[in-house]
Amino acid sequence: MSQLLSLRDRKRTETWAALHDAAARLTLESGPDRVTTDAIAAQANVSARTFFNYFGTKEDAILGLQDPSIDENWLTAFNVETNLLDQVSRLLVHVVHSTEGGGDGESLRMEVVQQFPQLRQRRVAYFLKVEQLVRDVVTEGITASAKWADVAQHHRAEDISRMIVLIAGAPMRYAMQESAHAPTLDNQFAALSSAISLLREVLPEIQ
């Protein structure tokens, strides 16, 4: 058997998916406001309380949003001294994909967002949290970096990383629009790569 995940972890993943799936499906049927957390929990065959063990809000469940976090691997590989634009762009996409339930619910989620624009607000808030998380990483890297000491002389590290993440975020948003109609992981990454290339070409022209 595929022993990658312990039984405990596998069940946790299944429950998460069951809740997200139930939330999205019921929302598609009746709209976000006519669906109760109780109904979602019942559909997923868990208690109403367990629902809130997995999702902070009903909308998070509908959209399949977790608190963003960064894999240890990505964190140790992250290095502010080279290719920062690439790294931050890819980091942003990675975090979104790994914490937005990159699995099956993909198209369900797309449909829900399309159908009920009021949920977009939540999605935006989520992206802001992702960016905040990445900003913190960049800030920490810059603070500890000799290469950035000069710039950091004149600007706060927070402001520097804010600017960097702002720029690096453009490819991500661009890529998400591009891949919106064929939202597989490969498509996302392909779109991201071409978006980064585009950014590289555009940047020199505008300064």
Partner DNA sequence: TTACACAACTGCAAATTTGCGGCCCTGCAC
Partner DNA sequence: GTGCAGGGCCGCAAATTTGCAGTTGTGTAA
Q: Which is nearer to a copy of itself, 47 or 177 (CB)?
A: 47
Query: Do residues 119 and 63 make contact, with C-beta atoms less than 8 angstroms apart?
Result: yes
132 is a site residue for a copy of itself (CB under 8 A): no
User: What b/e string do you get for 152-168 counting C-beta neighbours within 10 Å, with b at 16 or more?
Assistant: eeeeebeebbbebbeeb
CB-wise, 63 or 191, nearer to DNA?
63
- Output the smallest distance, CB 59 to DNA, in A: 7
Structure tokens at 113: 């967002």
Look up residue 32 and give its DSSP letter.
G
Closest of 108, 77, 106 to residue 91, by C-alpha: 77
154 makes contact, choosing from a copy of itself, DNA, none, with CB < 5 to 8 Å by partner type, with none
Among 6, 73, 76, 153, binds DNA (CB under 7 A): 6
Contact mark string toward a copy of itself, 4..23, x via CB under 8 A? ---x----------------
Q: Which phi-psi region, left, alpha or beta, contains residue 2 (left: φ > 0; alpha: ψ -120 to 50)?
A: beta
Question: Would you say 38 or 81 has its CB closer to a copy of itself?
Answer: 38
Token pair in block for residue 28: 């598609």
How many residues bind a copy of itself (CB under 8 A)? The answer is 5
Nearer to a copy of itself (CB atom), residue 54 or residue 127? 54
Q: Establish if 1 lies at the interface with DNA (CB under 7 A).
A: no
Taken in order 24, 6, 68, 91, is the CA torsion positive or negative? Answer: negative
Nearer to a copy of itself by Cβ, of 47 and 107: the residue is 47
Q: What is the dihedral of CA 30, 40, 70, 90, to 10 degrees?
A: -20
Q: Is 38 in the site for DNA (CB under 7 A)?
A: yes
The residue whose two tokens read 């099956």 is 104
Q: Which residues ranging from 40 to 99 are in contact with DNA (CB under 7 A)? A: 45-50, 52-54, 56-59
CB-based contacts of 203, cutoff 8 Å, min separation 6: none
The rounded radius of gyration (Å) of the Cα atoms in the chain is: 19
- Find the binding residues for DNA in span 17-36 (CB under 7 A): 35-36
Q: Which of 37, 43, 98, 143 lies at the binding interface for DNA (CB under 7 A)?
A: 37
> Is residue 47 within the footprint of a copy of itself (CB under 8 A)?
yes
Summarize as ranges the residues that interact with DNA (CB under 7 A): 6-9, 11-12, 15, 35-38, 45-50, 52-54, 56-59
